[in-house]
Amino acid sequence: MNALLALLALPFCLAAVVDPFQRLSELATAGNGLIKLDSNTFDLLTSPQRTWSVSVQMTALDPRRKCTPCKEFNPSWNAVAKAWATVPKPHRDQHFFATLDFDNGQTTFQKLGLQSAPVVFVYPAAQGPRAPANGKTSPSKYDFSNGFDPAPLAESLSKHTPIPIPYTDPIDWTRYILLATGGLGFLVLLRYISPVVQNRWTWAIITISTSLVMTSGYMFCRIRGMPSSGGNGNWIAAGFQNQFGQEVNVVASMYGLLSLSFLMLIMVVPYQTSPSRQRVQVYLWTGVFVVVYSVLVSLFRVKNRGYPFKLFL
């Protein structure tokens, strides 16, 4: 009778001593390379007798937890684990990827003292040929300073796997479609605006405008981060080592008017066929030149109270 009872209990005894490595390998295969953990399987996976290494994501994906970073990082984690599932089985079974959700392992979270998620721990092998030479088997923590992108994650975890993780970024078809659409749209648009683009006056205006802005202190304000105007609303900053953003517009406008009046006097006025019209334009553009130059000189006095010159203003 005792022999019969022992025979009947034999299958249960065998089930109780199933090889932990075999069980983990089966769980990884069933999860497409990713083991879904609870507190018990976490203890099994990180057993002090482990001959394998493991990367574990501690997360909280339940909507009730309102963990936005967890939801943002999870696709990257799954992509890296899926890439590891493609390596040959002899290498794949030496390192496991796993995820422990807070709702399935609150005891483990408390034991590890975790107050936030996501967290990625990497446990090295504790025994066997892959055990660290220095004997340190405590887990290391992944640094999220590179963000949640899968590429830096795979690169970092590859330092702990038998072979590098064969992760490659998926082709961003949306980007290529947008580039192609934008290129075609630009070619169609170029057909209609080509007369404007090829006109020398268009480029002359662009060149002159750029020159006026740059010679008026634009880069000075950009490099030094100068404010648009003073605290009291002034557009002009006192001192030659200070300049407000609005001051660039003022100076560029004055330089532009001076240049325009001079060009009109030498390029347009001489070709007027009507003497009276020519005379009016001489007076007009000469007046503009003198008035604007007078304002420019007065601006120098605002910048430096000791400036000795003045013209009308």
The pLDDT value given to residue 84: 94
Mean pLDDT to the nearest integer, 189-197: 81
Cis before 118 (ω within 30): yes
The pLDDT value given to residue 67: 93
The pLDDT value given to residue 55: 95
Residue 200 has pLDDT above 80, yes or no: yes
Surface-to-core class of residue 256, CB atoms within 10 Å of its CB (0-12 exposed, 13-18 middle, 19+ buried): middle
Give the pLDDT band of residue 312 (cuts 50, 70, 90): confident
Residue 125 has pLDDT above 60, yes or no: yes
- Within the chain, where are the H helices? 2-16, 20-30, 39-45, 68-84, 89-92, 106-112, 150-157, 173-197, 200-214, 218-224, 245-267, 275-303
Mean pLDDT to the nearest integer, 156-168: 94
CA 313 to chain centre: 52
What is the biggest distance separating any 2 CA atoms in the chain, rounded to whole angstroms? 137
What tens digit of pLDDT does each residue of 55-76 get? Answer: 999 999 999 989 999 999 999 9
Mean pLDDT to the nearest integer, 142-158: 93
| Cβ contact 270:258 at 8 Å | no
Please tell me what DSSP assigns to residue 49: T
What tens digit of pLDDT does each residue of 217-241 get? Answer: 888 888 878 887 877 777 777 777 7
Residue 250 has pLDDT above 80, yes or no: yes
CA angle 215/220/222 to nearest 5° reads 115
Mean pLDDT to the nearest integer, 21-38: 89
As given in the structure block, the two tokens for residue 297 are 């000189």
The pLDDT value given to residue 188: 84
Distance CA 289, CA 292 (A): 5
Mean pLDDT to the nearest integer, 51-56: 94
Residue 183 has pLDDT above 60, yes or no: yes
Mean pLDDT to the nearest integer, 25-48: 91
The pLDDT value given to residue 3: 52
| Cβ contact 96:45 at 8 Å | yes
**Percent residues over pLDDT 90 in the chain:** 43
Mean pLDDT score of the chain, rounded to an integer? 86
Give the pLDDT band of residue 13 (cuts 50, 70, 90): very low
Distance CA 172, CA 147 (A): 19
As given in the structure block, the two tokens for residue 176 are 């290529």
Please identify which residue in the block is written with the tokens 């446990």: 123
Helix (H, G, I), strand (E, B) or coil at 55: strand
Please tell me what DSSP assigns to residue 161: S
Residue 16 has pLDDT above 60, yes or no: no
Give the pLDDT band of residue 18 (cuts 50, 70, 90): low
pTM of the model: 0.55
Give the pLDDT band of residue 95 (cuts 50, 70, 90): very high
Tell me phi and psi for residue 210, to 5 degrees: -65, -40
User: Identity (one letter) of the amino acid at 242?
Assistant: N
For residue 254, what are the CA distances in angstroms to 244, 264, 265, 312? 16, 15, 17, 16
Distance CA 106, CA 119 (A): 14
Mean pLDDT to the nearest integer, 27-32: 88
Higher pLDDT, 1 or 53: 53
As given in the structure block, the two tokens for residue 124 are 């090295």
Give the pLDDT band of residue 85 (cuts 50, 70, 90): very high
The pLDDT value given to residue 25: 87
| Cβ contact 248:217 at 8 Å | yes
For residue 312, what are the CA distances in angstroms to 24, 286, 298? 92, 14, 9
| Cβ contact 187:217 at 8 Å | no
Higher pLDDT, 201 or 167: 167
Helix (H, G, I), strand (E, B) or coil at 259: helix
For residue 66, what are the CA distances in angstroms to 19, 30, 94, 149, 213? 38, 28, 34, 21, 50
Tell me phi and psi for residue 3, to 5 degrees: -65, -40
